[in-house]
Amino acid sequence: MLYDDPLKPDGDDGAGTVFRDVITLTLLGFVAVVILLLPHLNPPRKQDQAEVTAPGNVIVEALWEADLDTDVDLWVKAPGDVPVGYSNKGGVIFNLLRDDLGRYGDATDSNHEVSYSRGIPPGEYIVNVHLFRNQSRQLPVRVKVVASVKSDQQSSARQILATEVALNREGEEITAMRFRLDDKARLVPDSVNSLYQRLRSNRG
């Protein structure tokens, strides 16, 4: 006569126990693999990656009041190159990195345009600002213009000039600064002036 084992659940012939053990071991193996892979999913940055700095050698910025719905355009000209601004965003030396349209299509409150150069050729640099559109109707629009120089990618940018200018009407273009740099990227003494020279292209 056969008797049921009171300690064995009904219908459990041992196969269920083996199946549960296999599933448990598989799950533990998967968890172990994930733990081993975690350090490789987000590896620490290499030293050279951590030290990457902003691009550009000559950096020219134009900044105006953040709460104005005003489109001010920055125009720059490097020695021997074409003027660079919103309608001609790149030359041999300069590139316009940011064209700020005021509040239009802008996720931030900042009003800021910036151009970067590749290299620092000696000679005269010209920086103009142009009041393209003024939805805020507030005049004058005061614009801060800053020029900085970074001789190589390892050094930090060094401000060489800063000025503030006032734009009094839509369509006005003024020269904020003109300056010369020597062959060692140094500001030439007595070279700074604001004698007007048009930079904006006819199609701009």
* Sign for the pseudo-dihedral over CA of 14, 15, 20, 25: positive
Give every CB contact of residue 134 below 8 A, 6+ residues apart in sequence.
68, 70, 71, 141, 170
User: What's the pLDDT score for residue 106?
Assistant: 60
Distances 45 to 41, 55, 195 between C-alpha atoms, Å: 12, 19, 48
Mean pLDDT, the chain, rounded, equals 82
Q: Are residues 176 and 76 in the same domain?
A: yes
Confidence of residue 49 (pLDDT cuts 50, 70, 90): very low
Same domain, 119 and 75: yes
Indicate whether 15 and 95 sit together in one domain.
no
- In angstroms, the CA 115 to CA 54 distance is 12
Beta carbons of 86 and 125 less than 8 angstroms apart: no
* pTM score, whole prediction: 0.70
Claim to verify: residue 130 and residue 75 sit in the same structural domain = yes
State the Cα–Cα distance between residues 3 and 18, nearest whole angstrom.
Answer: 23
DSSP conformational letter for 90: B
Shared-domain flag, residues 25 and 111: no
> 181 exposed, middle or buried (CB, 10 Å; 0-12, 13-18, 19+)?
buried
Do residues 31 and 132 both lie within one domain? no
In-domain check, residue 22: yes
- According to the model, what pLDDT value does residue 98 have? 73
Query: How does residue 48 score in pLDDT terms, banded at 50, 70 and 90?
Result: very low
Q: Is 66 helix (H, G, I), strand (E, B) or coil?
A: coil
Phi, psi of 117 (to 5 degrees): -105, 160
Indicate whether 20 and 77 sit together in one domain: no
Q: Are residues 71 and 168 in the same domain?
A: yes
- Write out the residue range of the structural domain in which residue 171 sits: 58-181
Q: Nearest 5°: phi and psi at 85?
A: -160, -160
Q: Copy the structure tokens of residue 13.
A: 């012939």
Determine, yes or no, domain membership for 126. Answer: yes
On whether both 121 and 37 belong to a single domain, the answer is: no
Reference 86, options 125, 120, 130; nearest CA is 130
What residue type is assigned to position 95 of the chain? N
pLDDT digits (tens, 9 = 90+) for 140-158: 999 999 999 998 777 788 9
The 70-77 sheet, strands edge to edge = 70-77, 123-134, 173-181
pLDDT of residue 202: 60
Q: What is the pLDDT of residue 24?
A: 84
Structure token digits, residue 139? 């005049």
Nearest to residue 173, comparing CAs of 152, 201, 135, 136?
201
Other Cβ atoms closer than 10 A to 202: 6
